Amino acid sequence: MAEFRDQPKLESAILALKAAGIGADDMDIFSEEPVELRRGILDRPSSMSLVAVVGAIVVGGLATAGVYAAQHNYRLITGGMPIFSFWGTGVITYETTLLGSVLATFGWFLWESGLLRKRDKNVPIPTVLPGVMCLRVRCFDPHVTRARQILDTAGATDIALKEVA
């Protein structure tokens, strides 16, 4: 784990580590506020938008179908209006579509951020001070010294090694 206070130094460190063969999945940056790295350095692909759209369509469609089934379940005539019409149900379709996207977004966020996934208890989580960005690299024995070297040359202010079983 290495602490950086300067964003360009952190970026060069990551690039160097990637060149040495350490994958993006093995690197994590911990900070008290979001760190905006330049594009291409440590991108995390996300399918949240797609999930939101899918959730929207699914819930909206189900709700509309549900209303259709409910209205036809026991047909009661009201004031000359049709038993089911898209005009009349339009509001419910719209709202439930949006509700679906809200729930899908929230649910996917919980999954994608790792907050709801099973955590590996042995992995260390650094406590970071504000303004500090801590880069945590996970690698196996032969690469450790090389990684340490890269972090040192890149300008990390504090490097700590932690062994994990």
Partner 1 sequence: MAASAPELLPYAKIREDLFRPLSKGSSAYWTTVFGALSIVILGAVAWGIQVRDGMGVTGLNRPVFWGFYIVDFVFWIGISHAGTLISAILRLTDAGWRKPVTRAAEAITVFCLMIGGMFPIIHLGRSWLFYWLIPYPSERLLWPNFRSPLLWDLVAILTYVTGSVIYLYLPLIPDMAQLAEHNVPWRRKLYRILSLGWTGSDREWHALERAMKLMACIILAVAISVHTVVSWDFAMSIAPMWHSTIFGPYFVVGAIFSGIAALLLVLGILRRALGLELYLTKHHFNNLSKLLLLMSLLWFYFTFAEYQTVWYGNEPSEMAVFASKIRGPYAPFFWTMVVCNFVVPFILLGIRKLRTITTAMVSSVCVLTGMWLERYLIVAPTLGNPRMTSASGIYTPTWIEFAITAATFAGMIVLYLLFSKLFPIIAVWEFKPHPVEEE
Partner 2 sequence: MSIDLDRCTGCEACVVACHAENNLPVSSPDQAEKGRTAHWIRVDRYYEGEFPDVKVKYRPVLCQQCDNAPCEPVCPTYATYHNPEGLNVQVYNRCVGTFYCANNCPYTVRFFNWFAPEWPEPLQLQHNPDVAIRPAGVMEKCTFCVQRIQRGKRDAMVENRPLADGEIQPACVQSCPAEAMAFGDLNDPESKVSKLAGSGRSTLLLGELGTKPKVFYLERAK
Give the binding site for partner 1 (CB under 8 A): 5, 28-35, 37, 42, 44, 46, 48-49, 52, 63, 66-67, 70-71, 73-74, 76, 78, 81, 88-89, 91-92, 94-96, 98-99, 101-103, 105-106, 108-110, 112-116, 119, 125, 127-128, 130-131
Q: Which does 102 bind (CB under 5 to 8 A by kind): partner 1, partner 2, none?
A: partner 1
Q: Please, which residue, 28 or 146, has the CB nearer to partner 1?
A: 28
Shortest CB 139 distance to partner 1, Å: 17
The amino acid sitting at 141 is: D
Contacting residues for 116 by C-beta, under 8 A, at least 6 apart:
110
Contacting residues for 48 by C-beta, under 8 A, at least 6 apart:
105, 108, 109, 112
Q: Please, which residue, 82 or 114, has the CB nearer to partner 2?
A: 82
Comparing C-alpha atoms, which of 50, 41, 39, 38 is closest to residue 16?
A: 41
Q: Please, which residue, 125 or 149, has the CB nearer to partner 1?
A: 125
Q: Which does 80 bind (CB under 5 to 8 A by kind): partner 1, partner 2, none?
A: partner 2
Q: Please, which residue, 115 or 141, has the CB nearer to partner 1?
A: 115
Comparing C-alpha atoms, which of 147, 152, 160 is closest to residue 9?
A: 152
Comparing C-alpha atoms, which of 60, 57, 64 is closest to residue 88?
A: 64
Neighbours of 107 (CB within 10 A): 14
